[in-house]
Amino acid sequence: MMGDHREQALVSVLKAVRLRFAAAGIADPGLDSRLLVEHFTQTSRTDAIARPDQIIDAARLQALEGAVGRRLAGVPVHRILGHRHFHGLRLALSAATLEPRPDTETLVEAVLPFARQTAAQVGLCRILDLGTGSGAIALALLQEVPQARAEGFDISAEGLATAASNAAANGLADRFSTRLSNWFGAAEGRYHLIVSNPPYIRTDELEGLEPEVRSYDPLLALDGGRDGLDAYRAIARDAGQHLAPEGLLAVEIGRGQEVAVTELLRCRGLQPQGIYPDLAGIVRVLSFRANHAQNQ
């Protein structure tokens, strides 16, 4: 058994961890076991295929056992690793940042054509990421659009430090800046593109979230208020005066919020532009343009 920390072959270690996770009812035991084993034994998928008999020493097995114990206790695998890959970037996580998930890549893909077109036509695409967290959305856009510059706003200083560190680690620090701000509080001027994955869970639904989300993602990044729409009201109130002419606003939404969010922003002079489903076919992102005649 892996728990005795004696030297073991890589193939045996992978099998043992996978079986323990499966027995515990973990949703994807194969993936979680592979991620943890590779990280804590410093091996790769190639090693597992080409060198399955590679011996893992006792020290690495002991470190792996600690990680396995945390996963069995309910800690999400990427919280244990301390990072997550998002749209080709490796992003560090902290207690103050939401763990970026594949659904949010829908937002990046939705606005990329606009960001590229703006950069090509104007020579610059100025981006504001509201509630930037780990910096995932802004940094993914910067990675794809070399002429873009982005500002990440957040109410968490720890979150902003994580975002700035991620920018530096991915070679994007010269085009990314952070500001402590409650929504548009620190905004200056107008932006070609405003993006946000705001809190959108109704307060009374927080207790019903999966423990891995409820216990490890920051509450401030989840709680959207009594009806889940508080953040969209704040965004709708001020977005028009911070969008450049022909600028675009795009927000991630929760299941079933399409009509309510669209109406909130439409009432503030923001014209619906696009609707984007995630990989499960659920409407996940809405985009809008500003009617500047109403906001100047």
Homologous superfamily (CATH) of 2-81 is: Ubiquitin-associated (UBA) domain (1.10.8.10)
Q: Do domains 2-81 and 88-290 have the same CATH topology?
A: no
pLDDT of residue 157: 95
Whole-number Å distance between alpha carbons of 82 and 91: 9
CA distances 211 to 76, 139, 208, 215, 278, Å, are 9, 28, 8, 6, 23
Instruction: Provide the pLDDT for residue 77.
Output: 93
Q: Where are the domains of the chain?
A: 2-81, 88-290
pLDDT score, position 187: 96
pLDDT at 4: 55
The CATH class that applies to domain 88-290 reads alpha beta
pLDDT in the model for residue 205: 83
Sign for the pseudo-dihedral over CA of 86, 270, 146, 131: negative
Which pLDDT value is given to residue 213?
Answer: 77
Predicted pLDDT at 209: 76
Closest CA to 287 of 267, 265, 257, 256: 265
Q: Give CA–CA dist 282/296, Å, rounded.
A: 35
Per-residue pLDDT of the chain (296 residues; tens, 9 = 90+): 455 557 899 999 999 999 999 999 999 999 999 999 999 999 999 999 999 999 999 999 999 999 999 999 999 999 999 899 999 999 999 988 888 989 999 999 999 999 999 999 999 999 999 999 999 999 999 999 999 999 999 999 999 999 999 999 999 999 999 999 999 999 999 999 999 999 988 888 888 778 777 767 777 777 788 899 999 999 999 999 999 999 999 999 999 999 999 999 999 999 999 999 998 999 999 999 987 544 44
Q: What is the DSSP string of the chain?
A: -GGG---EEHHHHHHHHHHHHHHTT-S-HHHHHHHHHHHHHT--HHHHHH-TTPEEPHHHHHHHHHHHHHHHTT--HHHHHTEEEETTEEEE--TTS----HHHHHHHHHHHHHHHHHHHHHS-EEEEEET-TTSHHHHHHHHH-TTEEEEEEES-HHHHHHHHHHHHHTT-GGGEEEEE-SGGGG--S-EEEEEE----B-GGGGGGS-HHHHTTS-GGGTB--TTS-HHHHHHHHHHHHHEEEEEEEEEE--TT-HHHHHHHHHTTTEEEEEEEE-TTS-EEEEEEEE-TTTT-
pLDDT tens digits, 119-154:
999 999 999 999 999 999 999 999 999 999 999 999
